[in-house]
Structure 1
Amino acid sequence: MQNTLTYIFLFPLLIALVMLFIPAERWKVFRRLSFAAVAIQLVLSVILMINFDQSLVPESWEGAFQFVEKANWINMSLGSIGTISIQYYLGVDGISMPLVALSSFVLLIGVISSWNIEEKAKGYHILYLVLSSSIIGCFIALDFFLFYLCFEFMLLPMFFLIGIWGGSRRSYASIKFFLYTLLGSLFILVVMIGLYLSVVDGDSSTFSMVKMLDGAYASDTVLDPGSPQLIFGYSARVLAFIFLIIGFGIKLPAVPVHTWLPDAHVEAPTPISVVLAGLLLKVGAYGLLRIAYGIFPDVAIDFSGFVAIIGVISILYGGMNALAQRDLKRMVAYSSVSHMGFVLVGLGSITSVGFSGSLFHMISHGLISPALFLIAGVIYDRTGNRQMENFSGLAAKMPVYTFFMAVFFFAGLGLPGLSGFVGELMVLMGAFGSSQFSLWIGILSTLGIAVSAAYFLWTIQRMFYGKYFVRESAWESSMFDLTAREKLMLIPLTILVIAMGIYPRLVLDYSNETINFFIQQFSIGQP
């Protein structure tokens, strides 16, 4: 298993480099190379999962990570400031391992969805592979500088993939995405620099997130837990946590910094919506869990109620907006805002079941949401239109399509037996069992499930049942059922959503020991 993480991380970049020397008109070669690169990522991820020690009980964060790769990367003298040391430091634990596997799988679905892109295919697939490496890098990086580098590199490919291959308002959507995400990155950058100056490894400062997680702080620095230093009247650690909440909250996204997401989803091509919803939002949630909560557990306890309230607002506000939409893709986008609110509620509970529920819900949503965007893309590819009032009775004309739609709509609203139910149930158990906030948080979060049922069931009733109808007669010839390629994308997603709903241990067995160790850092016991 030596260097397997490096192969998963860097192989797409190597293929992207090869693509630079291939003539642009050979667009079929680019999609085959992209498929091969991401398929190898997935195979290596599965090998890692098979060899991952699920029974490992960590005694420290350094002992929690497996398949660790570590080497000196950058050493640079800064004069009187000292020497800056950056490491190539990779590893996975029970939190990141399922997310790496999810990323490899969703990225492969995205490549298959990109199969019919012929215009500027060379640029598209090079950017897609850079995005692939960046996403994986965020989940396996154990050096904060390397994490931040991957976090930033996700921004540029996504900006161009939306701005060049998106819809009619693609320039507006891509610039809005860029500005929001860049703003969030600046907040994270400030914290990263502060942590570097505060955390030591031996005699020098370090970007090692493992040292940060294990609390190896210098005794007289600004982010030391016992430091009396204040900034604008606030503890430096409190400000650092707030900055991380803002930075990662934008990527999540949480209300009120969510407005870039519906525009980006609506204008992005279907494959990019698949990756955006399935993976980029999870990077924001992962950053909150790993960095904000992991490094500042003392502050997280004090802000747990605030985080949970933001989660409840996101659940209800996103759900009500989804209920008001007429564009199918925009409805799915707002449903993502709502469902990511459950992740915040689980984190706010600071309980083992709440943390496990948040992680499980991240994985579940990472399968359900891409499928929903694929379903919206089917209609748009056939008609160039996504307005729900323009369609009715599609079940009679497209029965296979209707079956997959029903599976993922019911998974999204939390039907028992499907993965969405398990994640939401665990989050709600954490909310009701938490000592950090009122029972009203759990009650209002439960109301969000009813709102989800309302917009999903209303969409089913409007578009798929009743008398068959399409607005334009020119669309009639395009209203055929799913193609083999479309089935190839939706069948494995369906299998995983059902399997996780029936047997949640597919995810929980990987995360249990790590989450139990994580919750011990808060010194408040388990529910």
Structure 2
Amino acid sequence: MMLFALIAVLFLGGLAAWYSERFCPAAPRRIAVATLAIEALLVFVQFSTAEPVDYLSAGESPIWIADFKRPWIPRFGIGFHLALDGLSLLLISLTVFLGFMAVSSSWTEIKHRQGFFFFNLLFCLAGTVGVFLAMDLFLFFFFWEAMIIPMYFMISIWGHESRIYAAIKFFIFTQASGLLMLLAIVTFALIFHDNTGIYSFDYFDLLEAPLDPTIAFWLMLGFFIAFAVKLPAVPFHTWLPDAHTQAPTGGSVILAGVMLKTGAYGLLRFVVPLFPEAAQEFAPVAMALGAISVLYAAMMAFAQSDLKRLIAYTSVSHMGFIMLGVFSLNMQALQGSVITMLAHGISASALFMIAGALQERLHTREMNCMSGFWIEMPRLSAITLFFAIASLGLPGLGNFIGEFLVLLGAFKATVTLTVLAALVLILAPVYSLIIIQKVFHGPLRRQHFHSDFGRRELVFMGLLVLSTVWLGLHPQPVLNLAAPPLEQDIQLCCQGDNG
């Protein structure tokens, strides 16, 4: 029941926030904070008291921490099956942590229909947690689609000047790719029925299903495209800069910090374990897309004058590292991908919160209209410098650990693509320094001067700073927690080779 509560608390809290607006305009954001506090307590309980559930064969170590299964549509073998392992626990923790950041960044920015906004924010988080927990493929698709709808509303209602265009583009890309995944899921279940006479969408049943190599490749491709669009990877990335640029700050935090990670999670949870042979066959193509994403998005980033659009392209570049690491199919690269997911979620969210704070104060995102803020806004400037150098991969911070492990593991798989991806170590400082130079140095434009970060903003930014430093200096607990499910992925690939 605890796993079900992780989803239900967020959804019910969203309903309470929406309903409370009719009594008190300030109540929705307070209820959102209280809801996330309860959710954080539930996550802490999972860390401290959960008993392992062994789904592996005898003699192997368990990887599952908790399990919840109830019948849902038994006629078609669809169950409400949730399960938690180290990987999903890390990502749910990131989701809750960044949920606080999204609420904080929306505290003064959202001025109308606050109840409905915080309902959509918490509903989106509930859908994301459901994605990280669902072990029935039909249920996974249900949550996959559920988290898209509130994000569409957040962009289209509370976004900026071209919000309708950006929201529709986001919706079309994600829905079209989701349809491919649905077709792959239904086809997989029908093949399982033909082989066994039983309808089942359960992950653990399908994990053991024998597949013709050609069919497996096409099914894998249906999953891969859906996850590559959400990640996103070049050439499926074009929706992301528009969505980030037009979304409210809280929406950008959730989108960059959490929703993009569902694509990476899907690659690790479904593509590699369910289709190990097809994933190995497709690995050179996927790694090439990852390397191209790293370089192309980095070059596009330093060509931008819109601050949020620049940060959006840096997200595409970092997600390219994750794809490169996942399809390297060795432990170092997979662990690097997980660290990158967490570190990027923190640093990108911080940069979008900074961009949102500047836009709220200056009413513009154009860096050409900014300069000289270092003297007048020293706290905001120093924090921006910290996350700019974190984003470029400064040693001692979380992003460096992730990128270093990915490159180390990818080098074992392909030297050429690893060397190409490593060129981003030259490009990343360029776009990071562009932000610092254009926004914070040069002559002060006093007509745009507004207040520095206040106490509330400093507290939440401080938490992001501490998280980035902790992940960079002490990543071993995260690596240990993520190791068992990643080892299972590698074992399945090895079994595929032996088969």
TM-score normalised to the size of structure 1?
0.90
Q: Which amino acid aligns with 2:163?
A: R
Among residues 171, 175, 179, which one is paired with 2:172 in the alignment? 179
User: In the alignment, is residue 393 of structure 1 matched against residue 372 of structure 2?
Assistant: yes
Equivalent residue for 2:305? 326
Is the CA contact (8 Å cut-off) linking 2:394 and 2:400 kept in structure 1? Answer: yes
Instruction: Tell me the CA shift for residue 148 of structure 1.
Output: 0.6
| 1:59-458 → structure 2 map (5 Å cutoff) | 59=57, 63-75=62-74, 83-116=75-108, 117-199=110-192, 204-213=198-207, 215=208, 217=209, 224-225=210-211, 227=212, 235-434=214-413, 438-458=414-434
| Cα distance between partner residues in 2 of 1:508 and 1:322 | 30
Instruction: Tell me the CA shift for residue 465 of structure 1.
Output: 2.6
Q: Deviations over 1:406-450 (max 9, x none)?
A: 11111110000000000000000111112xxx3111101110121
Q: Secondary structure at the match of 2:71?
A: strand
| Cα distance between partner residues in 1 of 2:168 and 2:232 | 17
| Cα distance between partner residues in 2 of 1:52 and 1:371 | 31
Among residues 437, 444, 453, which one is paired with 1:461 in the alignment? 437
Q: Deviations over 1:7-62 (max 9, x none)?
A: 11111212233445445362211111111112211221122123357999954899
Q: Secondary structure at the match of 1:410?
A: helix
Instruction: Tell me the CA shift for residue 454 of structure 1.
Output: 1.1
Is the CA contact (8 Å cut-off) linking 1:62 and 1:210 kept in structure 2? Answer: no
Superposition misfits of 4+ residues, deviation over 4 angstroms: 52-63, 200-203
Equivalent residue for 2:481? 510
Q: Secondary structure at the match of 1:324?
A: coil
Q: Secondary structure at the match of 1:118?
A: coil
Q: Deviations over 1:254-285 (max 9, x none)?
A: 11111110000010000100000000100011
Q: Report how many aligned residue pairs link the two structures.
A: 494
Q: Secondary structure at the match of 2:493?
A: coil
| Cα distance between partner residues in 2 of 1:521 and 1:35 | 41
Unmatched 5+ residue regions in structure 2?
Answer: none
Is the CA contact (8 Å cut-off) linking 1:55 and 1:513 kept in structure 2? Answer: no
Q: Which amino acid aligns with 2:395?
A: P
User: In the alignment, is residue 475 of structure 1 matched against residue 448 of structure 2?
Assistant: yes
Q: Secondary structure at the match of 2:68?
A: strand
Q: Which amino acid aligns with 1:496?
A: S
Q: Which amino acid aligns with 1:399?
A: P
Equivalent residue for 1:80? none
CA RMSD between the two structures: 2.2
Instruction: Tell me the CA shift for residue 198 of structure 1.
Output: 2.8
| Cα distance between partner residues in 1 of 2:203 and 2:52 | 22
Instruction: Tell me the CA shift for residue 466 of structure 1.
Output: 3.5
| Cα distance between partner residues in 2 of 1:460 and 1:425 | 24
| Cα distance between partner residues in 2 of 1:188 and 1:62 | 31
| Cα distance between partner residues in 2 of 1:152 and 1:500 | 31
Q: Secondary structure at the match of 2:302?
A: helix
Equivalent residue for 1:31? 29
Q: Secondary structure at the match of 2:83?
A: strand
Q: Which amino acid aligns with 1:261?
A: L
Unmatched 5+ residue regions in structure 1?
Answer: 76-82, 218-223, 229-234
TM-score normalised to the size of structure 2?
0.94
User: In the alignment, is residue 46 of structure 1 matched against residue 38 of structure 2?
Assistant: no
Q: Deviations over 1:95-150 (max 9, x none)?
A: 21110111111112111222222301121122122111101000011111111111
Q: Deviations over 1:271-306 (max 9, x none)?
A: 100000000100011111111111001101111111
| Cα distance between partner residues in 2 of 1:92 and 1:451 | 38
| Cα distance between partner residues in 1 of 2:21 and 2:466 | 39
| Cα distance between partner residues in 1 of 2:435 and 2:16 | 45
